[in-house]
């Protein structure tokens, strides 16, 4: 067996769709951090381009940044990030960090919800100190020496000029921001209130503000609001100018179909606002909504496959199905697979995308046709299959969520006796049924094994007569090549050989006689592979985007480094969900101190003549 390392290996060019889900943003003096479902991304204050920020632990949901470091919070944990690395500051297994914000000196104020709740203060390299117990912070605003904390059911709290915290109001606060010289808070009733004067600035009909992003007047008003409307009667984006609310109705930011859902808005240094969305990634409001997604690749991949014409179809969870054709990524269509597609495969050279509605087939003209799947017994979804395959024109194979094999002939699905099926590998005559115990031929009767060797099928891959396992490549049941000692993420036939992707190892092309390195290693698992009609190799990351090999040494960065203290998950992650979406607050808002007097500019027109008269009286003999 020969294992030949090529002296030249191509790098990767990221070409996949610039989409993804924005969870949280913090705009700092030198950088902007943004959390997604797959990791943290970073950009400069001008928001010119995005890159992965591997400093943060896995599944970071909340971030804060300052000049000499950052803070990150996955569920149940709080971490400090600095030049020395990362350290675990707090860990509460049944709680989540609802929000956090850092002052310019790096001192962090962090709110916890759940079994452990309250507001903590943490200095860089210091220990967390509880400063307000038994409250559930929702949004935190640290600006200068002032800190404001909006809570659920415990009102607004403030520490002005470094003084001890004081409760300002009762009730619940949905949003918080400094707008000019004022501090505004949003209430579940839809009111936007000036904290100091206690005046109602404006009232949202049919919803309430989830974020308030201050603007400069030239960009269309005083603030951009993202709005939650349980009855869907209020627009999700509204601009507040003076006391007037104007809904933003022009939201055609790209060619993708579907509505744009807001996840938040944050003020940028140039006076515009960065807008977080579900499915469309980050946008900018500067009088109109425009994309700022250059190099923003942050999606959860659901799979990919290539048809006989060289078109690659990619599914991204909650984002959509995209086609890569003639060096271009096409938009997600209105007709076709739903955004939560389950799997993508090639069936006799045709793209098949499985979703909860059925089986979607890509036609030669680029349109999508639909084929009924297996009805779910519960009736909750129309399709109980999670993957399909085909061995000839008349025979379909399906895999349901219970791990049972199904066969369809003459439009009738028949349950086979084989259970414990994990997935299908290969296509057509080279289709392989992968079970927990081995690789078998597709059959509704007695099955025959393709390799009489005990192995971990979840970490191995097959295609026809080829089977790749950790350390060994088999052909027709015989070992022919050595492979890296790593999990095999993808295997696909390539001419007289196969392309093999082992976890965090260079991509290999192997024949029965030799293995060559053909592309550099990628940190993320490559869950699908293929070769375009141009001869270039394509690969799909599990977290990220579509990659195409080129003649550079580029490689996508890692989303995060391994951390010794692992995040603990449970049902308490629902604490991230907006608490007023269904349940109205039971505690009414009431201010606990007298309103402050603010001298408005027009008062000067009244006071100047009076002051002038008093001055003349004082100077007169």
Return the closest-CA partner of residue 350 out of 293, 311, 398, 317.
Answer: 311
Return the closest-CA partner of residue 62 out of 89, 22, 92.
Answer: 22
What is the three-class DSSP state of 78? strand
Strand intervals (E) in 195-319:
200-203, 208-214, 223-228, 237-241, 244-247, 261-267, 273-278, 282-285, 289-291, 301-306, 312-316
Is 194 within 8 Å of 184 (Cβ atoms)? yes
Other beta carbons less than 10 A from residue 378's beta carbon: 7
Q: What is the pLDDT of residues 539-589, one digit of tens each?
A: 999 988 999 998 888 888 889 987 777 777 677 788 999 899 887 777 899
What is residue 602's predicted lDDT score, i.e. its pLDDT? Answer: 45
Cα gap 540→545, rounded to integer Å? 6
Cα gap 614→55, rounded to integer Å? 64
Is 240 within 8 Å of 225 (Cβ atoms)? yes
CATH 2.130.10.10 fits 301-550, yes or no: yes
Q: What is the pLDDT of residues 505-528, one digit of tens each?
A: 999 999 999 999 999 999 999 999
For residue 169, pLDDT over 80 is answered with yes
For residue 7, pLDDT over 50 is answered with no
Q: What is the pLDDT of residues 377-415, one digit of tens each?
A: 776 778 999 999 999 999 999 999 999 999 998 889 999
What is the three-class DSSP state of 7? coil
Q: What is the pLDDT of residues 227-260, one digit of tens each?
A: 999 988 999 999 999 899 999 999 989 888 878 9
Q: Both ends of the chain: CA-CA distance in Å?
A: 113
**Residue 216 binned pLDDT confidence (cut-offs 50, 70, 90):** confident
Phi, psi of 125 (to 5 degrees): 65, 15
Structure tokens given for 193: 């209130």
Other beta carbons less than 10 A from residue 446's beta carbon: 9
Domain boundaries, given as residue ranges, for the chain: 301-550
Structure tokens given for 212: 């308030």
% of the chain residues with pLDDT over 90: 74
Render 530-555 in DSSP notation, one character per residue. Answer: EE-TTS-EEEEESBS-EEEEESS---
Render 441-500 in DSSP notation, one character per residue. Answer: ---SSS--BS--S---GGG-EEETTEEEETTEEEETTEEEEE--SS-EEEEEEETTEEEE
Average pLDDT, the chain: 91
Residues 6+ apart with CB under 8 A from 284: 47, 268, 272, 273, 274, 275, 290, 291, 292
């Amino acid at each position: 067996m020969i294992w030949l390392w090529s002296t030249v290996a191509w790098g990767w060019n990221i070409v996949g769709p610039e989409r993804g889900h924005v969870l949280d943003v913090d705009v700092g003096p030198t950088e902007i951090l943004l959390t997604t479902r797959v990791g943290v991304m970073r950009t400069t204050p001008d928001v010119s381009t995005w890159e992965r920020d591997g400093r943060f632990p896995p599944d970071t949901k909340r971030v804060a940044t300052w000049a000499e470091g950052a803070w990150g919070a996955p569920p149940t944990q709080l971490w400090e990030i600095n030049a020395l690395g990362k350290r675990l500051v707090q860990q509460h297994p049944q709680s989540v960090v609802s929000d956090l914000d850092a002052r310019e000196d790096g001192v962090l104020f962090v709110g916890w919800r759940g079994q452990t709740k309250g507001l903590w203060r943490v200095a860089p390299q210091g220990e967390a100190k509880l400063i307000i117990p038994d409250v559930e912070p929702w949004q935190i605003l640290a600006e200068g020496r002032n800190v404001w904390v909006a809570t659920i059911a415990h009102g607004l709290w403030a520490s002005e000029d470094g003084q001890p915290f004081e409760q300002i109001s009762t009730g619940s606060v949905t949003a918080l921001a400094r707008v000019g010289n004022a501090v505004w808070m949003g209430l579940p009733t839809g009111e936007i209130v000036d904290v100091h004067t206690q005046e109602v600035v404006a009232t949202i009909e049919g919803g309430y503000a989830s974020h308030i992003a201050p603007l400069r007047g030239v960009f269309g008003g005083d603030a951009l609001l993202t709005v939650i409307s349980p009855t869907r009667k209020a627009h999700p984006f509204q601009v507040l100018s003076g006391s007037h609310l104007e809904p933003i109705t022009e939201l055609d930011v790209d060619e993708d179909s579907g509505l744009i859902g807001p996840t938040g808005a944050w003020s940028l240094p140039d006076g515009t606002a960065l807008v977080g969305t579900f499915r469309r990634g980050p946008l900018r409001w500067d009088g109109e909504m425009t994309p700022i997604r250059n190099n923003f690749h942050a999606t959860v991949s659901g799979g990919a496959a290539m048809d006989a014409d060289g078109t690659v179809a990619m599914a991204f969870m909650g984002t959509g199905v995209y086609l890569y054709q003639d060096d271009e990524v096409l938009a997600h269509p209105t007709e076709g697979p739903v955004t939560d597609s389950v799997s993508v495969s090639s069936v006799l050279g045709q793209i098949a995308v499985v979703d909860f509605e059925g089986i979607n087939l890509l036609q030669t003209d680029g349109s999508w046709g639909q084929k009924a799947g297996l009805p779910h017994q519960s009736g909750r979804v129309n399709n109980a299959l999670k993957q399909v395959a085909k061995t000839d024109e008349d025979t379909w194979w399906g895999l349901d969520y219970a791990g049972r094999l199904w066969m369809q002939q003459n439009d009738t699905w028949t349950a086979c006796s084989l259970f414990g099926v994990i997935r299908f590998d290969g296509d057509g005559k080279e289709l392989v049924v992968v079970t927990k115990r081995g690789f078998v031929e597709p059959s509704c009767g007695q099955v025959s094994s393709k390799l009489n060797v005990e192995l971990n099928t979840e970490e191995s891959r097959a295609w026809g007569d080829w089977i790749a396992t950790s350390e060994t490549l088999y052909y027709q049941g015989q070992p022919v090549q050595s492979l890296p000692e790593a999990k095999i993420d993808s295997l696909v036939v390539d001419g007289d050989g196969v392309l093999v992707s082992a976890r965090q190892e260079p991509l290999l092309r192997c024949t029965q006689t030799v293995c060559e390195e053909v592309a550099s290693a990628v940190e993320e698992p490559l869950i699908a592979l293929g070769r375009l009609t141009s001869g270039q190799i394509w690969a799909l990351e599990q977290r990220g985007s579509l990659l195409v090999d080129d003649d550079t040494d580029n490689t996508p960065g890692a989303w995060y480094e391994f951390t010794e203290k692992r995040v603990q998950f449970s049902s308490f992650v629902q604490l991230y969900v907006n608490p007023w979406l269904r349940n109205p607050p039971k505690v009414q808002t009431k201010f606990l101190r007298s309103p402050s007097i603010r001298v408005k500019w027009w008062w000067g027109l009244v006071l100047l003549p009076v002051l002038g008269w008093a001055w003349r009286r004082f100077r007169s003999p």
